[in-house]
Structure 1
Amino acid sequence: MDELSSKDLSQMIERDHIYSVLELAGHLPYTGMDVINEVARLGYSFDNLMQDFNKVMIVKK
């Protein structure tokens, strides 16, 4: 994921309060797994990660 998309991703989480991985992926040209990897790299954690991929939610720092 490029640096601009990482910045956009952080802004969508912090400013727009979007916590659904699938919703975030819909706003960026990346897959849900790309978003999960980048969000983890940015220091966030997840809820429902091992249960249902369609319902993975980001937990704020």
Structure 2
Amino acid sequence: MSAKGFSRALLIVSGSGRETVQLAVAGDTALKGEAKAAVPAGAKVTLVLKNAAGKSGRVKF
């Protein structure tokens, strides 16, 4: 599935810290983004995708 046409972001939560990382298309089916610092062990990460039709999905790690 092509990643083009989607809005996409990661939400990284660790303790009271919270960062949103915008993801860019990297190749046809990959996404890439950079956090300001290393993601700490035990952090909760949520991937949020939304397509051009407005349908969205979330995956939590």
TM-score w.r.t. length of structure 1: 0.21
Higher strand share: 2
Larger proportion of helix: 1
Of structures 1 and 2, the one scoring higher in RCO (CA 8 A, sep 6+) is 2
